[in-house]
């Protein structure tokens, strides 16, 4: 079937197929859907993709994504800069922000420690987190909100050990398990996330 497709469609399908969570059938459906949309939609879609790298910036403080650097969370005078919630990815920031209950700031690791995938602390923003802690003697709490997976738990324990070795006596808490093992923060509903935040425990 694929050999009978026009070259333009095959090219687009191959791009979609390379996206995470998109298989060959889903890639074909997306490509065919786009073909059937008006040209004005395709033009807007193309503009949005082209502007992605130019207009979206990585915050140099917390590694969240925003229109500006520093991001609006780090720049806000209403946020408690002495409470840092450490998350795996930007989607986790969005999930926690959706609760409207957290008033501190964030630190995005960029993933978790996973030796099988050859991801160590050096591939994450662990060093930047440690600098952030050592540079600010006013920090009250580090909330480790990695996902409740084996890798997330291992990363949490690694961070706890690193922070304890610093000798500053910073309180380290782990997000409460209102979340089941194996769950991702960005799939959790706001109510569950509020319970997890409020039920955090000291590590």
Q: Where are the domains of the chain?
A: 2-55, 61-202
DSSP of 104-127, one letter per residue? EEEEE-SS--BGGGTB-GGGTTHH
> What confidence score (pLDDT) does residue 1 get?
47
On the question of a common fold for 2-55 and 61-202, the answer reads: no
Tell me, what DSSP letter sits at residue 2?
A: G
Structure tokens at 87: 């998350």
CA distances 22 to 4, 15, 88, 127, 179, Å, are 21, 10, 22, 33, 26
Domain range 2-55, CATH architecture: Orthogonal Bundle (1.10)
**pLDDT tens for each residue of the chain, 203 residues long:** 456 788 889 999 999 999 989 999 999 999 999 999 999 999 999 999 988 888 999 999 999 999 999 999 999 999 999 999 999 999 999 999 999 999 999 999 999 999 988 999 999 999 999 999 999 989 999 999 999 888 999 999 999 999 998 767 899 999 876 666 677 778 777 877 876 787 776 77
CATH of domain 61-202: 3.40.1360.10
């Amino acid at each position: 079937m694929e050999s009978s497709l026009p070259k333009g469609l095959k090219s687009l399908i191959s791009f979609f197929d390379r996206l995470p969570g998109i298989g060959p059938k889903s890639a074909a459906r997306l490509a065919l859907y786009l073909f059937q949309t008006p040209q004005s939609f395709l033009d807007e879609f193309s503009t949005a993709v082209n502007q992605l790298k130019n207009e979206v910036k990585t915050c140099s403080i917390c590694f969240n994504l925003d229109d500006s650097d520093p991001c609006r969370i780090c720049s806000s005078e209403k946020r408690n800069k002495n409470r840092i919630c450490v998350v795996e990815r930007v989607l986790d920031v969005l999930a926690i922000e959706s609760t409207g209950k957290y008033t501190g700031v964030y630190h995005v690791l960029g993933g978790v420690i996973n030796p099988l995938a050859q991801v160590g602390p050096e591939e994450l923003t662990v060093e930047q987190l440690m600098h952030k802690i050592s540079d600010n003697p006013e920090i009250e709490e580090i909330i480790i909100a990695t996902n409740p997976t084996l890798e997330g738990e291992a990363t949490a324990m690694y961070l706890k050990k690193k922070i304890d070795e610093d000798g500053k006596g910073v309180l380290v808490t782990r997000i409460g398990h209102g979340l089941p093992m194996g769950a991702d923060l960005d799939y959790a509903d706001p109510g569950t996330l509020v319970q997890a935040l409020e039920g955090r425990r000291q590590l």
